[in-house]
Copies of this chain bind each other. A is one copy, B any other.
Amino acid sequence: MGATKTELFTEQQNELASMAKALAHPARIAILQYLVKKNACVCGDIVDELGLAQATTSQHLKELKNAGIIQGTIDGPSVCYCIDPKVWLKYKELFNSFFKNVTIDNNCC
């Protein structure tokens, strides 16, 4: 007990949930918004930007990398992070189609 029972759900449901999980922390939202705002690779000032400890920031960056939504490229002594536009688009489309089909005439109890 304690671990999610992924075998009960469809692959699509698990994928959407895991994408949501990647976004489920304000630090990760902030990192993504920062990268989008810069619209370029960002080398090395994300720690200062966030206000969390370096180790914690690195942890969040790792989660975003695992989710595929950002890429980290080694550039000399530092690492450059940027949005992966292809994965970003996939997120966008999956969330979009998830939220699409609700009509407002939902006559509730």
Interface bin, chain A = 35 or more
- Interchain CA distance A28-B14 in the complex, whole Å: 10
A30 lies within 8 A of chain B by Cβ: yes
Task: Decide: B4 and A26 in contact? CB cutoff 8 A.
Answer: yes
Shortest distance from the beta carbon of A70 to any chain B beta carbon, whole Å: 10
Task: Decide: B95 and A109 in contact? CB cutoff 8 A.
Answer: no
The 6 closest A-B pairs by CB, nearest first: A9-B26, A20-B23, A92-B99, A73-B109, A21-B24, A20-B24
Chain A interface residues (CB < 8 Å from chain B): 4-6, 8-10, 13-14, 16-18, 20-30, 33, 36, 39-41, 50-52, 71, 73, 75, 80, 82-85, 88-89, 91-92, 95-96, 98-104, 106-109
